[in-house]
Amino acid sequence: MSTTNLVPFEEALTRYDPVLGMETHVELGTATKMFCPCPTGFGAEPNTQVCPVCLGLPGSLPVTNRAAVESAIRVGLALHCEIAAWGRFARKNYFYPDMPKDYQISQYDEPLCVDGYLDVEVEGRTIRVEIERVHMEEDTGKSLHVGGATGRIHGADHSLVDYNRAGIPLIEIVTRPITGTGELAPQVARAYATELRDLVRSLGVSDVRMEEGSMRFDVNVSIAPPGAEWGKRTETKNVNSLRSIERAVRSEVERQAGVLDAGEKVTQETRHFQENTGTTAAGRSKEEAQDYRYFPEPDLVPLAPSREWVEELRGTLPEPPADRRKRLQNDWGVSDFEMTSMRNAGAVDLVEATIAAGAPPADARKWWMGELARRGNELGTPLDELGVTPADVARVVELVAEGSLNDKLARQVLDGVLAGEGTPDTVVEARGLQIVRDSGELDTVIDQVIADNAAVAEKIRGGKTAAVGALVGGVMKATRGQADAGRAKELILEKLGVSG
Amino acid sequence: MSDLTRRTAAELADDLRAGAVSAEEVARAHLDRIAAVDGKVSAFLHVDEENTLAQARAVDTRRAAGEELGPLAGVPLALKDVFTTADMPTTVGSKILEGWRPPYDSTITERLRAAGVVILGKTNMDEFAMGSSTEHSAYGPTHNPWDLTRIPGGSSGGSSAAVAAYEAPLSLGTDTGGSIRQPASVCGIVGVKPTYGGSSRFGVVAFASSLDTPGPFARTVLDAALLHETISGHDPRDSTSIDQPVPPVVAAARQADVSGLRVGVIREFDGEGSQPGVLSRVHETVEVLESLGAKVVEVSCPHFTYALSAYYLIAPSEASSNLARFDAMRYGLRVGDDGTHSAEEVMALTRAAGFGPEVKRRIMLGTYALSSGYYDAYYGSAQKVRTLVARDFATAYEQVDVLVAPTTPTTAFPIGERVDDPMAMYLADLYTIPSNLVGNASMSLPCGLAEEDGLPVGFQIMAPTLADDRVYRVGAALEAALNERRGHALLEEAPSL
Amino acid sequence: MSAITREEVAHLARLSRLALGEDELDHFAGQLDQIITAVARVSEVATADVPPTSHPLPVTNVLRDDDVRPGLTAEQALSGAPASEQQRFRVPRILEEEA
């Protein structure tokens, strides 16, 4: 295989137009699997969430999970799809060790949902991504490759298979080709993935955790000179972060431009995204072309959602995330930039809940996007897993507002909550974190500080009121930060006979 | 006491209820019979005396404790080796599953246990139920009790031979294209394919999912009905199981009345395709029906002649997919795992070594029929023929209540005659397949011996979906009339083993 | 002319994961050709206006509630495994990428 030169992205765009396509697998968060009543929890001991059906034992038969069908229909409706009045599952036949029946129950030419769209915003432009279909299928088991280098399939001595994941319900969301995005293509791909993730999350049908594989993206890219017929596309599999999606598109455009510039042809193939280099690599090509021999699954009867059922499900749809973001942005009075930051940080829901718990929008945002975002980054933990609830944050905001805490103490309270010491009130109580406001106690401390800093006190008396900061600092130090700094300043100036 | 193995299931059930005999004695008598004759017949792949006697004793204990037991409690049964059993191996007649012990019982196995039916063992079958002679078993052929040099039919040949040889009063088989009715026919016993979806497929190792139907073998129509009711009824673990009441087959078998019934003789199945001795017995039986007050007319089902071709596309297509799971990864045989072969190679080596020639033929045939470029011409066209056959049935049932035909074109053929001539073997299913394609109920009833070879002939009775009771009504009436004419049951003419 | 060539039979064997010998391929090629030629007659009556039937019963929407039920223990699951290790099914090395 010849190594082709990469053409820098901006340059590639001067000669070629990219066409994108996205295929997204989402693991549904149902209690049981697609076709059997086994549990679906992540991280169980190997082969403990299995039964004759999901192990593909001879004689076993599938029975469809109603909740999975309802989730799929709700996703379809949220994507403005038509819901098919009648459709069948099909068998996709191919041999693979982690697929218990050596066929996958999927949908082929009769998908449950068709012809929808999802609008995404990139640099102020709204781009409508057309959805071709949403269909249901079952997941495979997981292989552990033993021997050889670092768990990779190549060079492994043998593999160990765990079928806990086998049969977990999946939906696959397939876009129509996305054209005309030009240099925005990488961002459009990312924006689509982000919007889709938020939409699915808002429906509550999946936890959409890309790092655990509950949402997986395959990115199709082709390029061609403007006006020419579309080029051959590549499919880059399992691109598992939003950033990687953007990088994968960019790198495929650069690579394919290099191939075409060299007068060669792009091979239609499956590629894999390399996280470390940000580029894609060709998959191992198969000896023979796949022929999946799809046919209607004879162990299942057709699915025919009644109009009443579909309308009932439509009634359960939440406000679309994009509408909701606009509404919240308006209510909170924040800029586009701030809103985008909150969304990227996964803070929108948390801020909203904190406000609902009584905090003013600015304060709610300040704590989540400031102190807590910083902690999250340090720990590499998403905000919603930090262990601080919106109610906790709202309470801290309240304590600050009533003057019981200052910001510094409030951070200490959050430290306590993060450390699992309990609610903010428990932490305040246990750590004794209260602002000292009692004048008697404060008087004594101030007198002592003035006595210890006679020279500074003299300057202040002489009119250099700016020096009062040093005395306030002394008071704060003496009270281990628990004094009300504003009140201390007033009292010092009063005692020194200077008006504030 | 008279020989317990000669008694019908209904008689045994009465004796057991009356306390005249214990389930253990009945089981012991049948185990003794198996020990005496199965060396010649080879109906069983697996018999476990201790297990069987323990089951029988448990029934006796339950009865002694005054427990309410099903009508067949304590009656022994032979189970085709296609039903999963947690306490016995399940091989499906294949080397690829040699010694496999399933970790679960099929729904029908569960129902038998709950009803107190005593399972004697697992019976021989064509590998994966593909065949009409039981010669395609990886464990050697079963012999027809009427003539040990001949086939017992298939694929459920072990189950038909066991009942015909008095090794069991009852047995279960599965019928995908005739695998209950054809063996019943050539062994001179009663075999019923219930309405598709009437008996659960959960735990029945699949051959062709849209066709497979478990059903009973017995020596009398009433016995078949008793077993039919015991195993039937909705199973939520089988999506294709019918959620409706079981047709009243036992009552119908007791009613045994055909006066006023309209009977259709299928013109397309009433000609030169059959052995003359088969046709003449069938014609006589139709006359008996008339004499009993049935109104007989000839009906035409023009697309039935395409049914065989459609079947040999649909069944192998589904089978090619159903049998993919036998890949040496999770259970069963594994060949070539010596560190030099990849998983892909081990799969191919295992399947080549573990499947017999008929299974390989059908897997490749089905793979072909489903492959891109051929799907429409083969699988797609076959599914259209299915529609046409259904229309023929619907038209016929506007005129008649039941349809009749020979069960199979010939009597039992000699072992070895067709084993490497698939086209000749497939013809055995010619008359049974239409019912499978549309899911109708259908029975084979012994109606006499063919003049030219003195071997049993089966008379096939078909009724619409969920009208299973009709085939029992007709079967029981005919059985009584034929026995009366003959002075005894047909099976009594079989040579003693 | 034959309905199916020996090369096609070899392709079918690979698709079906059957490692067949040369003799077997020859034998099956002849038999499959005979069978396919015979069953091809379905196309005589399968005209465009006839809808296909895939299920014998006209039933739809057989669905199950989303309630967990106990399945097998790992020991039961692995009881028939040709080889196991670390409570997993041990399989030979896998060459091809997943489809």
Q: Which residue, chain included where needed, has tokens 């955790």?
A: A209
Q: What is the pLDDT of residue B1?
A: 42
Q: What is the pLDDT of residue B324?
A: 98
Sign, CA torsion B484/B486/B489/B490? negative
- pLDDT-derived band at A104 (thresholds 50, 70, 90) equals very high
DSSP A184: G
DSSP B375: T
User: What is the complex's ipTM, to 2 decimals?
Assistant: 0.97
Q: Three-state DSSP class for A483?
A: strand
Nearest CA in chain C to A162: C88
CB burial of residue C98 (10 Å; 0-12, 13-18, 19+): middle
Give the integer Cα–Cα distance in Å for B182 and B175.
Answer: 9
Run of H or E residues at B227: helix B221-231
Q: Are B428 and B410 in contact (CB under 8 A)?
A: yes
Q: Are B192 and B198 in contact (CB under 8 A)?
A: no
Contacts of A61 in chain B (CB under 8 A): 201-202, 237-239
Locate B497 and state its tokens: 């083993």
Give the integer Cα–Cα distance in Å for B105 and B118.
Answer: 15
- pLDDT-derived band at A286 (thresholds 50, 70, 90) equals low
A40-72 burial, b for 16+ CB within 10 Å, e for fewer?
beeeeebbbbbbbbbbbbbbbbbbbbebbbbbb
Segment A73-88, tens digit of pLDDT: 999 999 999 999 999 9
**Which residues are paired to A215 by β-bridges?**
A26
Q: Is it the case that residue A2 has pLDDT exceeding 60?
A: no
Q: Are B282 and B472 in contact (CB under 8 A)?
A: no
DSSP B144: B
Give the integer Cα–Cα distance in Å for A478 and A441.
Answer: 11
DSSP A37: -
Segment B339-380, tens digit of pLDDT: 999 999 999 999 999 999 999 999 999 999 999 899 999 999
Contacts of C20 in chain B (CB under 8 A): 352, 360
Chain C, window 31-90: residues with a beta carbon less than 8 angstroms from a chain A beta carbon:
54-55, 57, 59-69, 71-74, 77-78, 85-90
Give the dihedral of Cα atoms A112, A117, A122, A124; nearest 10 deg.
Answer: -150
Give the integer Cα–Cα distance in Å for A495 and A79.
Answer: 69
Proportion of chain A above pLDDT 70, given as a percent: 96
Q: Are A137 and A106 in contact (CB under 8 A)?
A: yes
Q: Is it the case that residue A444 has pLDDT exceeding 70?
A: yes
Q: How many CB pairs under 8 A join A and C?
A: 144
Q: Between chains, do A36 and C78 touch, taking CB under 8 Å as contact?
A: no
Q: Give the chains touching A; criterion: ≥3 Cβ pairs < 8 Å.
A: B, C
Nearest CA in chain B to C96: B344
Catalytic residues of B: 80, 155, 179
Q: Give the chains touching C; criterion: ≥3 Cβ pairs < 8 Å.
A: A, B
Q: From the list C54, C63, C69, which residue is nearest A69 (CB)?
A: C63
- pLDDT-derived band at A458 (thresholds 50, 70, 90) equals confident
Q: From the list A63, A103, A161, which residue is nearest B324 (CB)?
A: A103
Q: What is the pLDDT of residue A490?
A: 84
DSSP A273: E
Q: What is the pLDDT of residue B374?
A: 93
Q: Is it the case that residue B382 has pLDDT exceeding 90?
A: yes
A285-306 burial, b for 16+ CB within 10 Å, e for fewer?
eeeeeebbbbbbbbbbbbbebe
Instruction: Give how far Cα A170 sits from Cα of A68, A103, B24, B420, Å.
Output: 8, 15, 52, 45
CA Rg value for chain B: 21
Q: What is the pLDDT of residue A1?
A: 44
Q: Is it the case that residue C2 has pLDDT exceeding 90?
A: no
Segment B66-94, tens digit of pLDDT: 998 999 999 999 999 999 999 999 999 99
Q: Which residue, chain included where needed, has tokens 């050596």?
A: A102
Segment A347-378, tens digit of pLDDT: 999 999 999 999 999 999 999 999 899 988 88
Give the integer Cα–Cα distance in Å for B170 and B157.
Answer: 13
Alpha helices of A65-149 — where are they, by DSSP H?
Answer: 66-78
A350: left (phi over 0), alpha (psi -120 to 50) or beta: alpha
